[in-house]
């Protein structure tokens, strides 16, 4: 079993839709949770960061962490064609900077 599982998609939604992206994990020691956005032929860009449990909101993006279920989510409201990218979840237990990444979900927002 992989430490981090992520549905690879692809996920296709119409413009304006609410998008839900998810990852599950097995290591209960993970404390730091991140979402990266990666456009084609570009490096991953840090999008959201959460420490421990709870929600974090930044504009149209909301990150949720449920440590009891070992489940993290990224919600995108009012999705735009410019949101079309691969979204990678990543997490760490801390102190080592060794982030463990999901395989990424390819999202396409259709105009």
- Provide, rounded to whole angstroms, the least separation between the CB of residue 52 and other proteins: 11
Instruction: Please choose, out of 13-21, 54-62, 70-78, 84-92, the segment that lies near other proteins by the rule CB under 8 A.
Output: 84-92
Question: In terms of Cα–Cα distance, which of 47, 43, 81, 42 is closest to 61?
Answer: 47
HSE-up (13 A, CA, CB side) for residue 96 = 9
90 binds other proteins (CB under 8 A): yes
Q: How far apart are CA 41 and CA 61, in angstroms?
A: 23
List binders of other proteins among 39-78 (CB under 8 A): 41-46, 49, 51
User: Smaller CB distance to other proteins: residue 18 or 46?
Assistant: 46
- Provide, rounded to whole angstroms, the least separation between the CB of residue 90 and other proteins: 8
DSSP codes joined into one string, 39-69: -TTS--EEEEEEESSEEEEETTEEEEEETTT
User: Smaller CB distance to other proteins: residue 32 or 75?
Assistant: 32
Q: How far apart are CA 68 and CA 82, in angstroms?
A: 33
Q: Which of 88, 105, 107, 109 binds other proteins (CB under 8 A)?
A: 88
Q: Name the residues that contact other proteins, by CB under 8 A.
A: 2, 4, 8, 32, 34, 36, 41-46, 49, 51, 88, 90, 92, 94, 97-104
């Amino acid at each position: 079993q992989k430490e981090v599982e992520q549905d690879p998609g692809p996920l296709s939604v119409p413009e304006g839709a609410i998008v839900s992206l998810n990852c599950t994990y097995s290591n209960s020691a993970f404390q730091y949770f991140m979402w990266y956005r990666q456009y084609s032929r570009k490096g991953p860009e840090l999008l959201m960061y959460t420490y421990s449990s709870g929600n974090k909101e930044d504009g149209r993006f909301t990150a949720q962490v449920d440590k009891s279920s070992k489940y993290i989510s990224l919600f995108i409201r009012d999705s735009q064609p410019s949101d079309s990218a691969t979204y990678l979840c990543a997490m760490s237990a801390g102190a080592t900077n060794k982030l463990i990444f999901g395989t990424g979900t390819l999202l396409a927002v259709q105009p």
